Chains A and B, each alone.
Chain A
Amino acid sequence: MSAINVSKVLDQSHASRVFDLAEMPLRELNRALHNLTLGSNETAWEVLNPKGSHSVAVGVDQPVTIDVRGSVGYYCGGMNDGSAITVHGSAGPGVGENMMSGSITVKGDASQYAGATGRGGLLVIEGNASSRCGISMKGIDIVVHGNIGHMSAFMAQSGNLVVLGDAGDALGDSIYEARLFVRGKVGSLGADCIAKEMRSEHLELLQGLLDRAGVTGVKAAEFTRYGSARTLYNFNIDNADAY
């Protein structure tokens, strides 16, 4: 087989589809992504000129990679089930909302409620995230290289939120069972959220998350774990103000 033929074979196995949103409506991109079936050769997707568009690559349910070259608006990668999305820019509100599985990486910053209600998969924000990061998270893993804003992990139910920087006020307000790991300062803790001991299983879990998120030079032992004090699980009149 000649060198030319080899490169042809490689091209086919990595068939890449490029969508330029300056020339094509977003609906066509999402329709093409939704039409993907298991075993498709179109495993690599590139989205150009998103310019803050809403709902880029929402509802993808196949294991493809999607590289978005620029910043996106609301709900990028919402409901993602298995794809690996990278936003080479910043993300607007609700990135990865209700993600089921797969991964989303935001190279820049993320706006409010990143990963809200997420049920699975990994959301990595290499910059800062804003308020309500991981609100009502239900199994998703979120790793933020920078800081997160106020009311993050509000009513979080399951999953892990890892923050290498600082957290804003009311972290983990009314939290159920999610684990929050913060390396920096916490503005304040919300109702029923307390600092907890880092046992060996937590160190192991956190190290695994840091590795998966491409974080190097940071040790799991540098973090504090926060979680639910579980005093709001059953109604108690003494806690009335906290509900």
Chain B
Amino acid sequence: MCGIVGLFLKDKSLEPRLGSMLSEMLISLSDRGPDSAGIAIYGAPSGNEAKITIQSAKPEHDFRNLDAELARAIGTPVNIAVKSTHAVVRTTPDKIDEVREAIQALRPDIRTMGAGDVVEIYKEVGLPEAVVDRFDVRSMTGTHGIGHTRMATESAVTTMGAHPFSTGADQCLVHNGSLSNHNNVRRELIREGMKFETENDTEVAAAYLSSQMAHGKNLGEALEGTLSDLDGFFTFVVGTKNGFGVVRDPIACKPAVMAETDQYVAFGSEYRALTKLPGIDNARVWEPEPATVYFWEH
């Protein structure tokens, strides 16, 4: 099954509540997938700063003194905020690749969840409520975000197999469904130079979109490409630095409901994910059409 949610705010006054709204949406869909849960939140840009969200199975060991060692390695101070098994490393945008390489060299067991100017990604095995509590997602602010609760069908139940998958700066994707041609697409993307961390079909979809956007397509055009190039069942909800997109495959058997008001655009696998949103009783609620791309940008 899997449960996916997304929330794109139009009204700035809701931004302090993004984390709590998204958390409630995701928790309401817990019984669609007990294996793992994850959330990507796009915070407000804070000037000349980039972020890398990292994860470790041994956080006490891996995150200890990491800031000092990274600063020594790259010659500039970095800021690290640890949250349970995850940590957000803040640096300047020009240093981001250098920091990633230094992390790999200093702590080879650390995994990168995502990187960019604004995105932070938290995902772990377990139910949504445990995951949002562990990372205090409810207190997070931001402009938009996506979330996922996983019933594993492709690849292992691990932190890395959890969604969202992020394969480009500030890009991430959650998926309900299963792809049948992911191995072929993965091979083509590897030939292009993309790197993969799991055997998961969703990571291929995320990398496909990153590749399309790296070739100059906008989010809408990239999503359009999934309809001809990806085979299988999918409802995708995608976030970019300033955008939010949704697409369903032409058969569209995976459920999807959307709601739009003057204040937000919201997505849920089921309507119950939307019932606590402000003004939902007067929102325009609809089921996205198959093979149709929907996207919004700030």
Residues of A within 8 A of B (CB): 51-53, 71, 73-74, 90, 92-93, 109, 111-112, 130-131, 149-150
Q: Which residues of B contact A131 (CB under 8 A)?
A: 252-253, 290
Q: Is B287 in contact with chain A by the CB < 8 A criterion? A: yes
Q: List residues of chain B with CB under 8 Å of any chain A CB.
A: 252-253, 255, 257, 270-275, 285-287, 289-290
Complex Cα distance, B270 from A93, in Å, reads: 9
B287's closest neighbor in chain A, by CB? A130
Q: Which B-chain residue is minimally distant from A150 (CB atoms)?
A: B290
B272–A109 touching, CB < 8 Å: no
- CB–CB B272/A73 < 8 A: yes
- B287 engages A51 (CB within 8 Å): no
Complex CA distance for A51 and B272, rounded to whole angstroms: 6
Residues of the A chain whose Cβ atoms lie less than 8 Å from the Cβ of B287? 109, 111-112, 130
Jot down 21 A-B pairs with beta carbons below 8 A, ordered by A. A51-B272, A51-B275, A52-B271, A52-B273, A52-B275, A53-B272, A71-B271, A73-B271, A73-B272, A74-B270, A92-B255, A109-B285, A109-B286, A111-B257, A112-B255, A130-B287, A131-B252, A131-B253, A149-B289, A149-B290, A150-B252
Q: How far is the CA of A37 from the CA of B224 in the complex (A)?
A: 55
Docked CA distance A52–B287 (Å): 14
Q: Given A112-B255, A131-B252, verify A92-B290 contact (CB < 8 Å).
A: no
Residues of B within 8 A of A150 (CB): 252, 290
Q: Are B290 and A90 in contact (CB under 8 A)?
A: no
Q: Is the CB of A52 within 8 A of B270?
A: yes
Give the complex CA separation of A53 and B272 in angstroms: 7
Contact B271 A92 (CB under 8 A): yes
Contact count A vs B, C-beta below 8 Å: 38
The contact of A112 among B253, B271, B273, B286, by CB within 8 Å, is B253
- List 9 A-B pairs, minimum CB-CB distance, nearest first: A52-B272, A52-B271, A51-B275, A130-B287, A52-B275, A71-B271, A73-B272, A73-B270, A92-B271
For B253, give the chain A residue with the smallest CB separation: A112
Residue of chain B at shortest CB distance from A110? B287
What's the least CB distance linking A143 to chain B, in Å?
20
Assembled-state Cα–Cα distance A112/B290 (Å): 12
Give the distance in Å from the alpha carbon of A93 to the alpha carbon of B273 in the complex: 14
- How many Å from the CB of B20 to the closest CB on chain A? 18
With a CB–CB cut-off of 8 A, which chain B residues contact A53?
A: 272
Complex Cα distance A74/B257, Å? 13
- Complex Cα distance, B286 from A90, in Å, reads 10
Shortest beta-carbon distance from B193 to chain A in Å: 38
CB-based nearest A residue for B273 = A52
Q: A71 — nearest CB in chain B belongs to which residue?
A: B271
Q: In the docked arrangement, what's the CA distance between A35 and B270, Å?
A: 30
Chain A residue at minimum C-beta to C-beta distance from B254: A112
Given A52-B270, A109-B286, A131-B290, 5 other A-B residues pairs in contact with their CB atoms under 8 A: A51-B275, A73-B270, A92-B270, A109-B287, A112-B253
* A109→B286 CA distance, assembly (Å): 8
Q: How far is the CB of B282 from chain A (nearest CB, A)?
A: 13
CB atoms of B272 and A90 under 8 A apart: no
A117 CB to nearest B CB, Å: 16
Q: Which residues of A contact B253 (CB under 8 A)?
A: 112, 131
CB distance from B102 to the nearest CB of A (A): 47
**Are B255 and A111 within 8 A (Cβ)?**
yes
**Distance (whole angstroms) from the CB of B21 to the closest CB of chain A:** 16
CA distance A71 to B282 in the complex (A): 13
A111 to B271, CA, bound (A): 10
Residue of B nearest to A74 (CB): B270
Specify which of B270, B275, B287 lies most central, judged by the most chain A CB atoms within 10 Å of its CB: B287
Measured between C-beta atoms, what is the minimum distance from B32 to chain A in Å?
11
Question: CA–CA, A92 to B255, complex, Å?
Answer: 9
For A90, list chain B residues within 8 Å (CB).
Answer: 271, 285
Residues of A within 8 A of B290 (CB): 131, 149-150
- In the assembled complex, the CB of B258 is this many whole angstroms from the nearest CB of chain A, namely 12
A157 smallest CB distance to B (angstroms): 21
Contacts of B289 in A (CB 8 A): 149
* Complex-state Cα separation, A93 to B257, whole angstroms: 11
Closest chain A CB from B26 CB (angstroms): 14
Whole-angstrom distance between the Cβ of A87 and the nearest chain B Cβ: 12
Task: Give every chain B residue within 8 A of A52 (Cβ-Cβ).
Answer: 270-275
**A130 to B270 CA separation, bound complex (whole angstroms):** 14
A208 to B270 Cα, complex, angstroms: 35
How far apart are the CA atoms of A168 and B262 in the complex, in Å?
A: 30
CA–CA, A187 and B273, complex, Å: 31
Instruction: List chain B residues, Cβ under 8 A from A51.
Output: 272, 275
Q: State in angstroms the CA–CA spacing of A149 and B255 once bound together.
A: 13
